[in-house]
């Protein structure tokens, strides 16, 4: 399918309370959100015209805005209603929703006390993040040289644009070396997450191990997968995981709104099996979201 640049697409975007033509939703180049990364966002999936966990995502969006000292001019209910109306208006069957909140262009400098808080919601078709065939085989990760910053150095528990700068750098470096994505460590050198997804490991006892989300976002998909695993009597250990432990794991996968459940074939030289446990979890997740 031909890729259409995002600034050339058609349709509507919900922009500060109104449905606006896609190419007419302009933001001035002197915008605080652009220059100082004062922007928070969410990623939400639509499966067969149904929005998956809209309320949870909206709640997290407002939580992120609060952490970033943004007073959102709309309520959570208003945002949920606007999102549902936009999905209906655009007639998207399987897609991706991007609500975002940012500071405008009224002030330019570190201080932004008097900037307007802008809100927009965009939606587009998105049947899959990774190629389906690639997901069956598992993707390959390297280990990034960039680490997740400590809690006192960033608003780590928000989905804020600035936190993704090192993710872009990590993913670019990985792709240039022939990998699909990159595993990031935390500031203590323990395993944290991939560039935009949480990570799980299966050990020889058929238990799942996943890092404690104390320097990165506790994903909504992550929590959903933990609930699915527990419903299947699979033990989930949330703990600190050292890179030295990679040799002890037999399976690995990442989770996220975009990635869903994506098996990992290898991390650097450590190889993993795309095992039945992971495939079963993936199948259960797809049934839950209404994909099957």
Q: What is the pLDDT of residues 98-129, one digit of tens each?
A: 999 999 999 999 999 999 999 999 999 987 66
Instruction: Specify if 40 maps to a domain.
Output: yes
Residue 1 in this model has a pLDDT that exceeds 60:
no
For residues 147 and 117, state if they share a domain. no
For residues 157 and 282, state if they share a domain. yes
- Mean per-residue pLDDT over the chain, rounded: 95
Instruction: Specify if 215 maps to a domain.
Output: yes
Instruction: Specify if 1 maps to a domain.
Output: no
For residues 18 and 101, state if they share a domain. yes
Q: Which of 53, 135, 140, 159 is catalytic?
A: 159
The domain boundary, picked from 125, 159, 178, lies at 125
Q: Taking each helix axis from N to C terminus, what angle separates 276-289 and 220-231, rounded to the nearest 10 degrees?
A: 110
For residues 70 and 201, state if they share a domain. no
For residues 271 and 212, state if they share a domain. yes
State pTM to two decimals: 0.95
Domain span at residue 114 reads 7-125
Residue 189 in this model has a pLDDT that exceeds 70:
yes
For residues 252 and 145, state if they share a domain. yes
Per-residue pLDDT tens over the stretch 68-87: 999 999 999 999 999 999 99
For residues 207 and 140, state if they share a domain. yes
Residue 2 in this model has a pLDDT that exceeds 70:
no
Say how many domains are in the chain.
2
For residues 16 and 145, state if they share a domain. no
Annotated active-site residue 159? The verdict is: yes
Q: Which DSSP category does 2 fall into? A: P
* b/e burial code for range 167-205 (CB count within 10 A of at least 16 → b): beebbeebeeeebbbbbbbbeeebbbbbbbbbbbbbeee
For residues 137 and 273, state if they share a domain. yes
Instruction: Specify if 26 maps to a domain.
Output: yes
For residues 136 and 257, state if they share a domain. yes
The domain boundary, picked from 92, 109, 125, lies at 125
């Amino acid at each position: 399918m031909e890729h259409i640049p995002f600034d050339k697409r058609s349709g509507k975007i919900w922009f500060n309370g109104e449905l606006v033509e896609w190419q007419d939703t302009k933001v001035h180049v002197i915008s605080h959100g652009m220059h100082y990364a004062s922007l928070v966002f969410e990623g939400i999936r639509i499966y067969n015209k149904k929005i998956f966990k809209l309320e949870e995502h909206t709640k997290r969006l407002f939580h992120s805005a609060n952490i970033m000292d943004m007073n959102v001019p709309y309520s959570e209910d208003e945002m949920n209603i606007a999102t549902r109306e936009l999905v209906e208006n655009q007639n998207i069957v399987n897609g991706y929703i991007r609500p975002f909140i940012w500071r405008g262009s009224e002030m330019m400098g570190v201080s932004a006390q008097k900037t307007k808080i802008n809100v927009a919601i965009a939606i587009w078709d998105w049947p899959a993040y990774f190629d389906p065939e690639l997901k069956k085989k598992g993707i390959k990760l390297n280990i990034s040289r960039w680490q997740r910053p400590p809690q006192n150095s960033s608003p780590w528990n928000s989905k804020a644009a600035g936190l993704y700068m090192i993710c872009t750098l990590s993913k670019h470096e990985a792709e240039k070396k022939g990998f699909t994505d990159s595993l990031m460590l935390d500031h203590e050198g323990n395993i944290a997450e991939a560039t935009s997804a949480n990570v799980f490991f299966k050990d020889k006892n058929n238990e799942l191990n996943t890092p404690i989300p104390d320097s990165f976002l506790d994903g909504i998909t992550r929590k959903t997968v933990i609930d699915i695993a527990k419903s299947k009597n699979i033990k989930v250990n949330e703990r600190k995981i050292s890179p030295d432990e990679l040799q002890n794991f037999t399976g690995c996968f990442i989770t996220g709104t975009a990635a869903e459940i994506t098996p990992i074939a290898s991390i650097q030289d450590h190889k993993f099996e795309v095992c039945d446990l992971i495939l079963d979890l993936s199948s259960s997740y797809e049934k839950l979201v209404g994909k099957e």
